[in-house]
Structure formats: C-alpha cells, structure tokens
Structure 1
Amino acid sequence: MNDTAKNSLPQADATIDGGDLDCGSGLLLMIRNAMTPIPAGGVLEIRSREISVKEDLPAWCRMVGHTLVSESPAPNKYTHYFVRKKQDADSALSVDLQQAKDYVWRARIKWQQGMVSKVFARNHAFEVGQPASFNTEDEVPGAIEHLLGALGGDLSAGFQWRLSRAGIEVYNLEISLSARVGNVLVFLGIEDDGNPGIETIDGKVYVDADSDKGASNDEIERIWQDTLRRSPLAQTLAPHVKLNIDLKRVP
C-alpha cells in the first residue's frame, strides 16, 4: 500500500485481528465486543484473512446499521475493513454474548447396520464405526478415531487462529495423536475388571510458522499452551485423560 492510499484510510478507534475466523465462527461476536467502548460514529478496524468476510461483513453491516467505510488489502493475505459504529449499537451485545454462552450443540445418531452408526449434526452427516477396532481396513473410522480427529481438529484450528492473531503466519501445521485404552477387554466383554476408557493421549504438533519480526520458540510455545487452555475438547478430556501433546517447531 502506498503512502497516499494509507493516508486516505479512516483513523481507527480500535483494532481487532480475526485471522481466519469467518462471520459464523465467532468473528461477529468479537466485532460487537470490540465496538462496545467505541463511541457512536467511531471506527473499528477489522483485520481478516478469511475470504468469505469480504461478502458477509458488508451484508451484516447493512443488516444491523453499521457503515463499512472502506477496505484495504494488506500483507500476509490480510484485508483490513473499517466499520463505523451506528447509534445505540450496544444494547443487544450482552444478549448475544449470553446466547453464545448458552448455546447447545446437538447431534442425532442412528444405527445403520452391524457396528456402524450414522451421525447427523446441523447440515452434516458422517458414519462412525465400532468404539474399538483392531482391523486396519474398516469401512469407516471407529469412535476413538473420531474422538482423536475431533481433538486434533479443535487444536489445529485454535492454534492456527491464535498464531494468526499474534501476527505469526503458519506455513504448515500437522498434529499426530494416539490413544491408549485402560483395558479394551472390558468393552469386549472378555474381562470385568479395569477401565475400558481412554487413559492417555500422546501426540506431537509440528508447526512451521514465523512473523516478519521473527517469532521466538518461547512465543510460539506460549500460544500453544494458551490453545490447550482454551480448547473445548482438550479441557473436557483433561480431568479424565492424561494428555501428552508436545510442540515441535520445524523449518
């Protein structure tokens, strides 16, 4: 961006970095929360790398009465949006935040045949195999594998998003997880003593990421620990399962 274009942008009263969040994944709550201390007529700068925001943010502004003043491309695949706050914009925020806290996720599960069930969640459907399978060629992943995949997806998305918000670009990110059950023979009905549940989940996180200023290993480790602390699934499992998931930075 040249100096003339930069000088033509409105002066922002506050700035947020939404990273790769889309409007349906919490970005709008972040925007509304950041707008609370801004006076009516003030401007919020929203930095985003999510392509769908280019269409969804203007539509949301029109719907609620804010004004999208301008948008500007920026380095690292970012676009900066400048939104002017309307009058009386704060009254519904507390309601929206409470609704987010009270939201209930739902799924419907229907047995299909044999050891396979089908899960219906929102507009998605997927099949789940038996809880513990030793066959390497099952038609569908088992329940434990779905749990590992869900945990890994949770951590991968959260880690990337928090790195992005810190101005650190992710070039590659991969998570490898494995689970060990206490005594699978209890599930199979062969034995009665022992814990049929998962006792430990081990894993490695491989990340290639850096910033223009040079992100230190300590900074990336701090963001990873914050990701674990804020992860819905990791914090659900942590009181009952020993999580050993180590971070390794790769070039």
Structure 2
Amino acid sequence: MIAAAAQFPSAVSDIDANAARTAGLIAEAAGRGAELVVFPELGLTGYELDAIAADPGRCVLAPDDPRLAPVRDACRAAGVAAVVNGPGRGPSGTADGMTIATFVYGPDGGLLSRYAKHHLYGPENELFTAGPAPGGRFTFRGLRFALATCYDNAFPEVAERAAADGCQVYLASSFHDSVERTDEYAALARAHGFDVLLANGTGPRSGGVGCGHSGIWAADGSGLARVTGETGLALAEVGVSAGPLPEDSAPAGTSGGRITG
C-alpha cells in the first residue's frame, strides 16, 4: 500500500485552521494514491508548549472533538486512514493528565487506534503525562503498524518491541530541529527490518525550529521519499520491497518513492 508523510507549518493553537490544512493534505495524498497519511507531533496545535500551557482546556482534544470533524470527513470522503497528533485527554477523560496523543482515523472516519507518547522530553514533563507502554499497534490493509512519538525513538526498546510484535511499518510523528536527526530513521529501519515513516514538524516553534524533511525508509535503510519544502508530502509503497514512485508524480516541494527526541 502507498503511505504518505505530511508536513505543514501549523498555526499557533488554531486547531480549526490546522484541522482544515490536515484535511486538505489528506485529500491531496489520497488523490495521489495514498491509503494512509501521517502528520507530525502536535501538528494540530503546533509544537507550542507555552501556548498549550496557557489554555490547556481549549487545546486538549478527544478523538470525537467537533474541531477535528474536517479530518474525519476527509478520511471518509477519500476512503483513507490518517494519523494525527495533538494534546489529548488523559485516561480520566479530563484535562488533568493531558498527553501528547496520536489518533488514528480509519476510512470510515472512526477511531482505529490511539497512542500517548511514553517518553516525554525536557519541558514536556511539566505539561504532559506520559502514556503507558507498550501500545500504539493497529492493523490496516493487512499490515501491522507501530506508533511512536519523537523522543520515544531515542529508546531502543521501543523499536525492539515493535519488531517483536511483528510490526511491518513503524510510524513516527516527531518534531526535530536538524536534518541529521531525521536521517537517523534510516538506521532504525535497517536495525529492525521494518519500513519507517517519519512525519516531522516544520517552522519556528517554542521547542525550536522544526526542520521538516519528513520521509520514508525501506527495511534495508534505503531512502524512498523526502519532503524538500516547508509544506508537502512524501509518498512511498510500504510493507513490500518497492522502488520509488515516478519522479514526475511529485509536485514541487515533495518527493515520491518507496533518533532522537
């Protein structure tokens, strides 16, 4: 199946605007053949810890939040799945225990899976609660997927557990500030024998300047696709040995083809 890593500069704490941009990229990816689209860490609010801390009640999200209706509707309209990330309600269902949450919506717009970042990084510990481990597994189109968020990938046991669980594709929603960090995902793929997809944040944020360069790597560590602009999609066939998509299938700012926190 073809999967896509998507990135765009999120509007600070503007969930409505970010959900609309997310929906637009889902539709664009689906139009280019993608069946699954993955977005960066805190892409629904921007990686803006100060802004989230100033108004957590407004920023925190549940999977059925009305503000995420455009995302769910885009999945239904295109018949694809989407992996989005933002501040999520903790196990109690209240703003207390807020997590860095990943929601996976299926082609019917329903929730396929959810995951809460387990390894929090630096100032995240003052704002968020760590999610339980293990977690973040789902099966879609006959493939077994693992979810991880940014700093999770600095801990070898996270990827080791995903490989032991038989996951064929590893999905990382992250916010990295250097291309060198994004390049480390090639070694992650090679070490564990699964395809790796990174959706990385972009633009100046409270955590630094996201460098983008979202990408997809095959199980042997070879690069299949990278986003070269601030906004765009990287598409590749995952779950099988596959080469790059035709070069002319990628519009400006994108590429087509087959860590640390």
Q: TM-score range by the shorter chain?
A: under 0.3
Higher Cα Rg, which structure: 1
Larger RCO, structures 1/2 (Cα 8 Å, 6+ apart): 2
TM-score (norm 2): 0.27
TM-score (norm 1): 0.27
More helix by percentage: 1
